[in-house]
Chains A and B, each alone.
Chain A
Amino acid sequence: MTELDHRVQGVDHTAFPTFDPAGTVRFYRDVLGFPVVHSICAAGWGPEDHPDFIHFFFDIGNDDRIAFFYYFGLEPVHRHERGDAYAGFGPDVPEFFVRSRHLAIHVGDEDDLLEYRRRLDASSWPVEMQIKHETIESIYTHDPNGYMVEFTRAMRPVTPQEDLDANLTIDALLDVVGEGDPTFGKLLARKAELIVERAAEWELSRAGEPGR
């Protein structure tokens, strides 16, 4: 496999529509303390009947940003009770799927995690879950638009062997998906083969690196 150099520098911004700009500003700026760092006031243009809109940005740390679009005169695009401002889901869609998409914001330590917990718990959007997954600890809530937001801290650094393991998992996954009719059992069997083929050599190559 060709090694491609890795030149990107994180998230510039991720963008979501909102029908509740007042709630959105209260949540991100006034409750969480995320500065407003940019906004665009745009008159609608183009071949579509595009509404006038405001595109506004909050700093989420590290100069990364979360942004919203507010479209003047646009009514909510769906009537489902489950989901968020962007997409709604009927009763046929399982809850785990509805809850799968989220934004996780990194914090440095437990103090910072608990500080955001305090800010949220004092607001109209209290923390819904706080979970220690052993290697990470996270709090979760939904913003005024229904988007799930997580704050997470690492409880220990990621080890180099976890990067190896992740790569073996993905290679095994591509193999079993490529074969058709993928199952978890097939993945674990293929991954066992990749461990036998590659894990010992990986450790030897690391031992040979300078400074180790």
Chain B
Amino acid sequence: MTALYVLDVPENTPLAAVAAQDPAVTVGRIGPYFAITATGPIVIDRRATGCRHAVWYSSVAGVARGSRITQHDKDALRVEPV
């Protein structure tokens, strides 16, 4: 199980919306956080989100144990099962 948490603030909503476009990914909520989960990898394309760099590189609030970030650069955020 892969799980990524993103705070629900206006700058981050496109990120959750792009993540939700993948049918293998579920976007739920825990309090004010988006809980983005999948059985396999979660991949979010930065350009599709329209997020500029300051937001993009500070958008991840938490990554569950059992998952890890394998890519977080100008192209994409990729979280995979360990």
- Residues of B close to A93: CB separation below 8 A: none
The number of residues on chain B lying at the interface, defined by a beta carbon within 8 Å of a beta carbon of chain A, is: 22
The answer on a CB contact under 8 Å between A188 and B69 is: yes
In the complex the two chains form, what is the Cα distance from A159 to B32 in whole Å? 10
User: Looking across the interface, which residue of chain A has its beta carbon closest to that of B62?
Assistant: A192
A5 to B47, CA, bound (A): 45
> Chain A residue with minimal CB distance to B51?
A134
Please report which residues of chain A, range 143-198, place their CB below 8 angstroms from some CB of chain B when the two chains form the complex.
156, 159-162, 164-165, 168, 185, 188-189, 191-196, 198
CA distance A188 to B3 in the complex (A): 11
- Which residue of A has the minimal Cβ distance to B60? A188
Q: Choose among B3, B30, B62 the residue that contacts A200 (Cβ–Cβ < 8 A).
A: B30
Closest to B9 in A: A159
B81 to chain A, nearest CB (A): 14
**Chain A interface residue count, Cβ-Cβ cutoff 8 angstroms:** 28
Are B5 and A192 in contact (CB-based, < 8 A)? yes
- Specify which of A156, A161, A198 lies most central, judged by the most chain B CB atoms within 10 Å of its CB: A161
Q: Distance in Å from the Cβ of B54 to the closest Cβ of chain A? A: 4
A200, B63: Cβ atoms under 8 Å? no
A16 within 8 Å of B (CB atoms): no
For B8, list chain A residues within 8 Å (CB). Answer: 161
* Number of residue pairs A-B, CB distance < 8 angstroms: 72
User: Hey, what's the 0/1 contact readout for B1-23 against A, CB within 8 Å counting as 1?
Assistant: 00101011111000000000000
Known contacts: A164-B32, A188-B69, A202-B31. The answer to whether A195 contacts B10 by CB under 8 A is: no
Q: Which of A135, A199, A202 has the most CB of B within 10 A?
A: A199
Nearest 9 pairs of A and B residues by beta carbon: A199-B31, A192-B62, A161-B32, A203-B31, A191-B62, A188-B63, A133-B54, A192-B64, A200-B31
Instruction: Knowing that A188-B63, A199-B32 touch, tell me 10 more A-B residue pairs with CB under 8 angstroms.
Output: A134-B55, A161-B9, A165-B32, A191-B61, A192-B3, A192-B5, A193-B62, A193-B64, A194-B62, A203-B31
